C-alpha cells in the first residue's frame, strides 16, 4: 500500500460522488463534529439541518471543515478534507430557486441524520420549515488516496 496526494480534480470527483460527510465547526477554541448529508453544486456543498448546536456555532463562526471519502477496503481508499465557510440561505432572502435545486438533489439520497418525521419535504421548502438551509462555500480541498501495491 502507498499513499498519494490527490489533485483538486480528483478531490472534486470524490466530493461530487458522495453524499455523507463529517462537518466540524468550532466556538471558543472547542471543536464539534457531526455527520451530515450534502449535495455539491458548483463550488458549494448544500445541506439542511434542524436548528441546534452546530447551527448556533456556525452562525457565530463561519469557518468549517468537512471530511468525506470512498472506501473500497482498508488498503484502498480516498479521503478528502474541505475547508470552507458557512453561508445560511434564509427563506426571506429570495433563495427559493436555490433551495428547490438543492432539495431536488438531496431528496434522492438517504437522510440518515434526521428523524423521518422531521425531514424537510418540498412543501415545507416553499413555506415555513423548522429546517435551516445552508451551504458551505469551498475555499480549499485536499485529499489522500491509498492504493494497493508498492510505489
Residues that bind a copy of itself (CB under 8 A): 1-3, 22, 24-26, 29-35, 61, 63-67, 69, 74, 77, 79, 81, 83, 110, 112-113, 115-116, 146
CA distance 47 to 86: 10
- Asked if 88 contacts 59 with a C-beta cutoff of 8 angstroms, the reply is yes
Helix (H, G, I), strand (E, B) or coil at 108: coil
Kindly state the smallest distance separating residue 126's Cβ from a copy of itself, in Å: 25
C-alpha cell at 46: 448544500
Kindly state the smallest distance separating residue 17's Cβ from a copy of itself, in Å: 17
Kindly state the smallest distance separating residue 95's Cβ from a copy of itself, in Å: 25
33/41 with CB nearer a copy of itself: 33
Amino acid at each position: 500500500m502507498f499513499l498519494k496526494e490527490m489533485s483538486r480534480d480528483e478531490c472534486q470527483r470524490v466530493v461530487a460522488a458522495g453524499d455523507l460527510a463529517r462537518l466540524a465547526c468550532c466556538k471558543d477554541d472547542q471543536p464539534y463534529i457531526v455527520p451530515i448529508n450534502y449535495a455539491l453544486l458548483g463550488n458549494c456543498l448544500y445541506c439542511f439541518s434542524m436548528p441546534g448546536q452546530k447551527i448556533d456555532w456556525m452562525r457565530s463562526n463561519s469557518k468549517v471543515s468537512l471530511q468525506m471519502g470512498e472506501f473500497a477496503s482498508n488498503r484502498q481508499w480516498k479521503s478528502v478534507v474541505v475547508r470552507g465557510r458557512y453561508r445560511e440561505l434564509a427563506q426571506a432572502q429570495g433563495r427559493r430557486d436555490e433551495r428547490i435545486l438543492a432539495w431536488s438533489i438531496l431528496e434522492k439520497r438517504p437522510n440518515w441524520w434526521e428523524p423521518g418525521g422531521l425531514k424537510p419535504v418540498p412543501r415545507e421548502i416553499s413555506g415555513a420549515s423548522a429546517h435551516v438551509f445552508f451551504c458551505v462555500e469551498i475555499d480549499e480541498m485536499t485529499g489522500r488516496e491509498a492504493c494497493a501495491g508498492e510505489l
